[in-house]
Chain A
Amino acid sequence: MDNMVVAMMLGASLFLGSIALIAFLWAVKSGQFDDEEKFLNAVKFDNEDDLNDAIKQEKKREDLKKKNYKPE
């Protein structure tokens, strides 16, 4: 029984740890740490408006993509 507890705890903590690791890897991969200035300053641009802008930007990009795919 004791063994099971240890095994479960190990499993659970490794799982949680790996989620954090994967999040970190994703962040590095998607270039969030590429520009350290930007990264450090990000906190300054982290309000509602900026989030909205970011979403709009994303939408615009999607739209453009779709337009490109349309045969003319």
Chain B
Amino acid sequence: MTLSNKIPCSHCHLEFTQDVMIKDEDHYFCCNGCQGVFHLLSDEGLDSFYEKSHGVTLTPPTQQYEDSLNFNAPAFYDKFVKINDEGFSEVSLIIEGIHCSACVWLNEKALHKMDGVIEASINFTNNKAHIIWVDEVLKLSQIIDMIRAIGYNAYPYDASLQEAHANKVRKDYYLRMAVAIFSSMNVMWIAVAQYAGYFSGITQEMKTILNIAEGVLATPVLFYSGWVFFRGAYFGIKNKVVNMDLLVATGALLTYIYSIYITLLEHGEAYFDSVSMIITFVLIGKFLEVLSKKNAADTLDIIGKHLPSEVNIVRDEKIVPCKLEEVSIGATVVVSSGEKVLLDGYIVKGEGSFDESNLTGESEPIYKVVGDSVTSGTTSIDADIHFKTTKDFEHSTLSNLVTLLESAINKKPKIEQLANRLSEHFSTTILVLSFLTFISWWLWPHSFETSLMVGISVIVIACPCALGLATPVATLVGLNLGAKRGILFKEAAQLEIMAKADVLLVDKTGTLTVGKPEVFKETIIKEFDYKLLYSLVKSSKHPISKGIQKYLLENREFSEEIIFDLLTQVPARGIKASYKDFEVLGGNLKYMQENQVGVDYVSNKTMFYFAVDGELVCVYEMHDKIKNGAIELVESLKNRAIETIMLTGDNEKSAMSVADEIGIEKIYFELTPEEKLEYVNKLHTQNKVVVMVGDGINDILALAKADIGIVMGSGSDIAVDVSDVVLLNDSLESLLGAFKISKTTFSLIKQNFAISLVYNAITIPLAMAGLVIPLVAALSMSFSSLLVVGNSMRIRYKWNRS
């Protein structure tokens, strides 16, 4: 049997002997499945796939699938298919069998060619596809049939599935690391004997025994723990990228083979310790990276996680709970004070104030009466209402936001990390250098063995340990620094992206301002008993009353509160109460005028008037206070050449007053969540790296789409979920801190790279000259790694002191 009579299948490129294959003109196929796919692709004009995939081995499409028609079942459609507002159907699928970017290309092309498919975008890293189609033309089953016909499989996407996958990866790494660390530690003990022998003399026999023991230990490290590097190198080569994995894999494999050769020859020095050390160090670095990677899929479960699945509806004059998805249009939903509105509709009974700041950014509560519309996503402050739904949950404002959000997350631009770019050049250079060294030594002339050893020593000495550890260690330090200050970066890579930021977009309410009205100015016209006012405002849940209540508690002294004989709250006006023979009145200007209280104190700010017995005694000017450090933040970012732009849903007047006070020059007001998203997109087209800070549901689209979304810890749960960075203490100082930390970390990464490059610049020429003895190689390897780790720790020490 010779290898030459094995030929690859024209589709899947698996190799078989010619006689078992199906011959079809010039092509050979291993099975009918491959033949079918091949013809389908040629007929569709997609055969350039084979050019693009460069002979990637594919899974032959031999699998028999169950009938795809069950994908058309209403139950399935209900669960996974969504109708967007243009009336198209959308579905998320995981595509199985994607090996390379050519596969992604093929799937997208094939789907795009189908009548009725509007958009198909597939993510290479997580194999997730988002497909939009017209259901009248095409059924989901046909789409799935197409994916299967071209040799892949698809199944609907479930967020928990992704999590299971992430856990599997992590566990896999644990196992590999356990083996690597165990073996390396033992190899090191044996290596101590080797080095002792190197200096004080050792018999060749003993050396061979030690070599064999080391070899036994190094084997699982290389082939089990190091498998990730072989795999990475393989995928790298396939995509024509020379990556770090290739360097590690070649270096370790060549050293391993060479060491076996030495052991068998019973002459010279074996380097099994280097093999296991390299793999272990770089594997740990890689594990740290995997660990700090955010699971992007988590966010997709938002709706189930943060929204109650049931609402109370009125049925047969009784209030009964009902599943959110099952609430029909026209049903009457009950909302009590403090509850979230989950559906859109109009009020049929009751009235009260609603907090719409989540959706619109409007800081003032909105008072709504019968006939007014309520929007999903807003919260009732003090309203107990019944409302009739006008849309079902699938089409509600809230549900739409979630759909938009998912697509924003998926289409987030990817910024390449420094490490990836650098390692490509580095790996290529080292591999070329080592090859040149080998050739020139061989031609010089030296024995093949000596030249090979010198060639390998170049790769070994250019140990990628330091380079591999440079980013993970630095980012870990950065993450740690942040965590201590209440700044949580969800993914290590974000530190680097944030360091490159060009624009900071800020939301107003809750971000720049406290979000709750506070007393700005108190004007006392006539002395009065503060306990009267305190007791009055305490009876109301309105934010303004709360602001005054807080002010009084902090600034005024008064005896215990009193119980009013009579107390009436007039919505959107104020409160009236009587105590003994006093009559007290608190509220806005309109309320005072209605009650014939003479007021000559007017301002364009929010005012609260307090009158006793029809005589104005005191006026409070309220405003939403700007957070500490806002001015410093804008100033300091300006010095760092980062432009600050304010995006708010609030009106021009309040936006301008805040912007003027802080010194923000560029503002956009009365924006809807979608408009904020648009603005982020616009900045992206100008190639700007965008950082967005916000807190509410009205910001989530922009937060998800921005390169870095920062959210205040007190923000809504959904916002916290989609964001990349969370500021736990809500302060703007920590926002500035986040910028500082990312800058520091990025410079740390650069320093670490510089260290390992300088180190390589010194040692590689030595290795090329053949001057590196094993002890030097081992020492310098550990030393370079220690330098990198030590440098990272230095920054931490410096930060912790300041």
Binding site for B on A (CB under 8 A): 2-3, 6-7, 10-11, 14, 17, 21, 24-25, 28-29, 33-34
Q: Please tell me if B40 contacts chain A, counting CB pairs below 8 Å.
A: no
Q: Please tell me if B190 contacts chain A, counting CB pairs below 8 Å.
A: yes
Q: B206 contacts A6, CB within 8 Å?
A: yes
Binding site for A on B (CB under 8 A): 167, 171, 174-175, 178-179, 182, 186, 190, 203, 205-206, 209-210, 213, 216-217
Residue from A7, A24, A28 within 8 A of B209 (CB atoms):
A7
Q: Which residues of A contact B203 (CB under 8 A)?
A: 3
- Complex Cα gap A35–B596 (Å): 68
**A29 with B175: in contact, given A10-B190, A14-B186, A14-B217 (CB under 8 Å)?**
yes
- Complex Cα gap A43–B175 (Å): 24
Q: B206 contacts A24, CB within 8 Å?
A: no
Q: A10 contacts B209, CB within 8 Å?
A: yes
Q: Which residues of A contact B182 (CB under 8 A)?
A: 17, 21
Q: Which residues of B contact A28 (CB under 8 A)?
A: 171, 174-175, 178
Q: A21 contacts B209, CB within 8 Å?
A: no
Q: Which residues of B contact A17 (CB under 8 A)?
A: 182, 186
Q: Tell me how far the C-beta of B272 lies from the nearest C-beta in chain A, rounded to whole angstroms.
A: 13
**A21 with B206: in contact, given A14-B216, A14-B217, A28-B171 (CB under 8 Å)?**
no
29 A-B contact pairs sorted by A residue (CB < 8 Å): A2-B206, A3-B203, A3-B205, A3-B206, A6-B206, A6-B210, A7-B209, A7-B213, A10-B190, A10-B210, A10-B213, A11-B213, A14-B186, A14-B213, A14-B216, A14-B217, A17-B182, A17-B186, A21-B178, A21-B182, A24-B178, A25-B175, A28-B171, A28-B175, A28-B178, A29-B171, A29-B175, A33-B174, A34-B171
Majority SS at the chain B contact face: helix
New A-B contacts (7) at CB < 8 Å, excluding given A17-B182, A17-B186, A21-B182: A7-B213, A10-B209, A24-B178, A25-B175, A28-B175, A29-B171, A34-B167
Q: Tell me how far the C-beta of B801 lies from the nearest C-beta in chain A, rounded to whole angstroms.
A: 33
Q: Which residues of B contact A11 (CB under 8 A)?
A: 213
- Complex Cα gap A21–B175 (Å): 10
Residue from B178, B190, B210, B217 within 8 A of A25 (CB atoms):
B178
- Complex Cα gap A41–B203 (Å): 52
Q: Tell me how far the C-beta of B548 lies from the nearest C-beta in chain A, rounded to whole angstroms.
A: 46
- Complex Cα gap A28–B178 (Å): 10
Q: Which residues of B contact A14 (CB under 8 A)?
A: 186, 213, 216-217
Q: Tell me how far the C-beta of A35 lies from the nearest C-beta in chain B, rounded to whole angstroms.
A: 11
Q: Which residues of A contact B178 (CB under 8 A)?
A: 21, 24-25, 28
- Complex Cα gap A25–B178 (Å): 8
Q: Which residues of B contact A3 (CB under 8 A)?
A: 203, 205-206, 209
Nearest-neighbor residue (CB-CB) of B193 within chain A: A6
Nearest-neighbor residue (CB-CB) of B217 within chain A: A14
The 8 A-B pairs of least Cβ separation, nearest first, read: A10-B213, A7-B209, A21-B182, A3-B205, A28-B174, A25-B175, A3-B206, A28-B175
Nearest-neighbor residue (CB-CB) of B171 within chain A: A28
Q: Tell me how far the C-beta of A27 lies from the nearest C-beta in chain B, rounded to whole angstroms.
A: 10
Q: Which residues of A contact B209 (CB under 8 A)?
A: 3, 6-7, 10
Nearest-neighbor residue (CB-CB) of A18 within chain B: B182
Q: Tell me how far the C-beta of A26 lies from the nearest C-beta in chain B, rounded to whole angstroms.
A: 10
- Complex Cα gap A6–B189 (Å): 13
- Complex Cα gap A7–B216 (Å): 13
- Complex Cα gap A3–B213 (Å): 13
Residue from A6, A10, A21, A33 within 8 A of B179 (CB atoms):
A21
- Complex Cα gap A2–B206 (Å): 9
Q: Tell me how far the C-beta of A7 lies from the nearest C-beta in chain B, rounded to whole angstroms.
A: 5
Q: Tell me how far the C-beta of B208 lies from the nearest C-beta in chain A, rounded to whole angstroms.
A: 9
Q: A25 contacts B206, CB within 8 Å?
A: no
Most B CB atoms within 10 A — which of A7, A10, A17, A25? A10
- Complex Cα gap A3–B207 (Å): 10
- Complex Cα gap A24–B178 (Å): 8
Q: Tell me how far the C-beta of B638 lies from the nearest C-beta in chain A, rounded to whole angstroms.
A: 46
Q: Which residues of B contact A21 (CB under 8 A)?
A: 178-179, 182
Q: Which residues of A contact B217 (CB under 8 A)?
A: 14
- Complex Cα gap A9–B367 (Å): 84
Q: B179 contacts A25, CB within 8 Å?
A: yes
Q: Which residues of A contact B167 (CB under 8 A)?
A: 34
Q: Which residues of A contact B179 (CB under 8 A)?
A: 21, 25
- Complex Cα gap A28–B179 (Å): 12
Q: Tell me how far the C-beta of A36 lies from the nearest C-beta in chain B, rounded to whole angstroms.
A: 13
Q: Tell me how far the C-beta of B179 lies from the nearest C-beta in chain A, rounded to whole angstroms.
A: 7
Nearest-neighbor residue (CB-CB) of B174 within chain A: A28
Nearest-neighbor residue (CB-CB) of A8 within chain B: B209
- Complex Cα gap A29–B172 (Å): 9
- Complex Cα gap A17–B190 (Å): 14
Q: Which residues of B contact A29 (CB under 8 A)?
A: 171, 175
Q: Which residues of B contact A6 (CB under 8 A)?
A: 206, 209-210
- Complex Cα gap A6–B205 (Å): 11
Nearest-neighbor residue (CB-CB) of B190 within chain A: A10
- Complex Cα gap A21–B180 (Å): 11
Nearest-neighbor residue (CB-CB) of B167 within chain A: A34
Q: Tell me how far the C-beta of A21 lies from the nearest C-beta in chain B, rounded to whole angstroms.
A: 5
Q: Tell me how far the C-beta of A31 lies from the nearest C-beta in chain B, rounded to whole angstroms.
A: 8
- Complex Cα gap A24–B176 (Å): 12
Q: Tell me how far the C-beta of B246 lies from the nearest C-beta in chain A, rounded to whole angstroms.
A: 28
Q: Tell me how far the C-beta of B229 lies from the nearest C-beta in chain A, rounded to whole angstroms.
A: 20
